[in-house]
């Protein structure tokens, strides 16, 4: 057959309606697959971007909103001095920023140790006195008692306990006040690991002093006096820290 004859037959050829319909069905099928793939890719991209933003927010929130060393050493009648802590012990607290100080009240002579920490909630919440003191050989001999520290319009609940180690003249009897600040409020209560994985950062404030077995702890307690000053310093810095960390308007 010559080329011209073949071409003429080709020009006269027709495509059956069935073949056309099958081709349209096939094209439609592949279009739907392509759209589904595009939607999946877009959805995956959105989820990846959201995960990135959440991870970035969590990472930023692991750092203290302000340097804890900015809390003054002098707080009214309390005069503080920085104390050293073994680096290994400091790392075990899970904190990213911390100060350890000994405050002396120059009017009464009372000595208080203050521990102020900030770090990832999931790593810090487990370091409660109920865990750490027995681990160091202390026994709980009083409490827990609920105490509220009032600072401006803030009601900050604290937990107070007394631990003891040794006997007679060698007894070391320690009164402890502590609370956490997370999700914008103070609380001595903690939840589960899964709950705190969703809370990026938290403060812990812990003060301790030596007491005697007969001492009244519910009247004019020096721990509460120092805590009022410490919480005032922390709360007054948080709004400014939030403003400085907020992104600039475009």
Mean of pLDDT values over 173-199: 86
pLDDT at position 16 over 70: no
Assigned token pair, 144: 């827990």
Answer with the residue of higher pLDDT: 222 or 170: 222
Q: pLDDT of 111-156, one tens digit each? A: 999 999 999 988 887 888 998 899 889 999 998 999 999 998 899 9
- pLDDT tens, residue by residue, 48-80: 545 445 455 555 567 899 999 999 999 999 999
Residue that is written with structure tokens 């970035």 in the block = 56
3-state secondary structure of 54: helix
Largest Cα–Cα distance in the chain?
A: 122
What is the distance between the alpha carbons of residues 250 and 244, in angstroms, rounded to a whole number? 16
The beta-strand segments (E) located in 166-223 are: 172-182, 185-187, 201-210
Q: Where are the domains of the chain?
A: 20-61, 62-244
């Amino acid at each position: 057959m010559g080329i011209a004859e073949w071409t003429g037959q080709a020009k006269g050829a027709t495509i059956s309606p069935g073949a056309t319909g099958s081709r349209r069905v096939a094209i439609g099928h592949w279009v739907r697959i392509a759209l589904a793939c595009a939607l999946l890719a877009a959805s995956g991209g959105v989820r990846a971007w959201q995960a990135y933003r959440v991870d970035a927010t969590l990472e930023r929130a692991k750092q203290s909103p302000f340097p804890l060393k900015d809390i003054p050493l002098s707080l009214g009648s309390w005069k503080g001095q920085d104390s050293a802590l073994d680096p290994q012990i400091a790392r075990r607290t899970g904190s990213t920023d911390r100060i350890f100080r000994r405050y002396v009240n120059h009017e009464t002579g009372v000595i208080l140790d203050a521990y102020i920490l900030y770090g990832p909630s999931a790593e810090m919440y487990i370091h409660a006195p109920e865990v750490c003191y027995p681990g160091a050989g202390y026994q709980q001999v009083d409490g827990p008692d609920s105490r509220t520290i009032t600072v401006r319009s803030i009601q900050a609940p604290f937990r107070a306990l007394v631990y003891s180690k040794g006997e007679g003249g060698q007894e070391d009897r320690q009164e402890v006040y502590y609370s956490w600040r997370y999700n914008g409020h103070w609380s001595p209560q903690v939840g589960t690991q899964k709950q705190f994985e969703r809370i990026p950062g938290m403060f812990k404030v812990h003060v301790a002093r030596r007491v005697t077995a007969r001492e009244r702890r519910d009247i004019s307690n020096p721990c509460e006096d120092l805590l009022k000053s410490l919480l005032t310093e922390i709360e007054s810095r948080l709004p400014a820290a939030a403003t400085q960390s907020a992104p600039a308007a475009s």
